[in-house]
């Protein structure tokens, strides 16, 4: 694991070859990191789709302020390292508007539309409050139950 020191003195640990930039949690400076290892794109013949959601809970105590940045990093990872077409990645953040349950469920429907066993599907969430906005049983109904029997959901 690579380490980079910010100008404010914080030592940051970085997974090799994944990040080009990182934001310091103390001073919020953006640090450009040397790329140490190139990851090869996944090889799959199927369609690739992703839904990335970041909810910052701004104005709340203990808010998660880096949700949008986490979504941005995941978007770059999927597009540049795993070969997802840009148009196949839907990004929803509360930076520009308040996200609704309908926004999220619509994104889930788009993700699952025409799903086949050879497809690669990604759902990524960063932040708090998804369970109150969209209960777990509705998430399960929207993106787990529609999977073809030959696919297995992977939760990380």
Residues 55 and 99: beta-carbon distance below 8 Å: yes
**Each residue's pLDDT tens digit, 116-140:** 888 888 999 888 665 555 666 677 7
Residues in the chain: 156
Total of domains in the chain:
2
Quick one: 74 and 96 in the same domain?
yes
Print the domain residue range for 21: 1-37
Residue of 68 and 86 predicted with greater confidence: 86
pLDDT digits (tens, 9 = 90+) for 78-97: 999 888 999 999 998 887 77
Confidence band of 43 (pLDDT split at 50, 70, 90): very low
| Contact of 23 with 61, CB cutoff 8 Å | no
Does 78 share its domain with 29? no
- CATH number, domain of 118, equals 3.40.50
Question: Is 139 within a domain?
Answer: yes
């Amino acid at each position: 694991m690579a380490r980079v020191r910010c100008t404010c003195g914080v030592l940051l640990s970085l997974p090799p070859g994944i990040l080009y930039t990182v934001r310091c949690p103390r001073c919020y400076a953006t640090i450009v990191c040397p790329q140490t290892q190139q990851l090869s794109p996944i090889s799959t013949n199927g369609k690739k789709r992703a839904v990335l959601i970041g909810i910052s809970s701004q104005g709340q105590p203990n808010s998660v302020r880096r949700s949008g940045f986490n979504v941005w990093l995941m978007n770059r990872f999927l597009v540049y390292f795993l070969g997802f077409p840009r148009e196949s990645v839907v990004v929803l953040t509360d930076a520009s508007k308040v996200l609704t349950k309908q926004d999220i469920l619509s994104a889930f429907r788009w993700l699952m539309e025409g799903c086949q066993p050879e497809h690669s599907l990604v759902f990524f969430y960063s932040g708090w409050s998804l369970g109150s906005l969209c209960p777990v049983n509705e998430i399960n109904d929207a993106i787990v139950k529609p999977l073809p029997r030959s696919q297995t959901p992977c939760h990380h």
